[in-house]
Amino acid sequence: MERKREATRILLEEGLKELMKTRSFDKITVKMITDEAGVLRPTFYNYYRDKYELLEGVFQGDIAGRMEELVQDGMEEDAIRVLFLRMERDRAFYKKAFEITGQNSFEEILEQYLYHIFMECLSKYPLKIQPGIKIWKEEVIAKYYSISLASVIKGWITEDRMEMSADEITKGYYLLLTHSIFDLIDKKERL
């Protein structure tokens, strides 16, 4: 029974991914998804409340589940690399997903998930003692990193001129993490 449920879930997720190759998310209906998946429409509601929850399910199945396993195993940096690699693999799908705006936007789903991951890391490991760190709550730190990482990913996925590989964007992201903006700029006086 569980194997059949998982197979149906995968059919629905793949149905949405297939439809998003040619249509915008807002034009896709539950009926279209179930037709593409080859299941009856009422079946959809045994798994998801709406297509937004299905979108979240696609992200969970493609990326989030693997990241959570790595974080649980203490491999947080590998989890970030997997995030970039998986998004690169399905770049066309995620580019369409980032077109969803407003409430239930994909960017919001991603930010919330990353916030959860960063909070998990902060609860697992103590903060290093640094000047000024005591003024920041863990929630603020997690929010800062989740918003910035989601922004980096959105720019990388949606901007056609950003033709970087997952490895290049991972290295670039770690450069931003480990340097302040003042480390990155050349303050030589202009002539």
pTM assigned to the model: 0.88
As a whole number of angstroms, the distance between CA 93 and CA 19 comes to 9
Q: Which amino acid is at 124?
A: K
- pLDDT tens digits for range 105-154: 999 999 999 999 999 999 998 888 777 777 788 999 999 999 999 999 99
Q: Please, are residues 111 and 117 in contact by the beta-carbon 8 Å criterion?
A: no
As a whole number of angstroms, the distance between CA 74 and CA 69 comes to 9
- Rounded average pLDDT over 9-31: 95
As a whole number of angstroms, the distance between CA 87 and CA 187 comes to 35
- Rounded average pLDDT over 19-43: 95
- Rounded average pLDDT over 67-89: 95
- pLDDT tens digits for range 35-64: 999 999 999 999 999 999 999 999 999 999
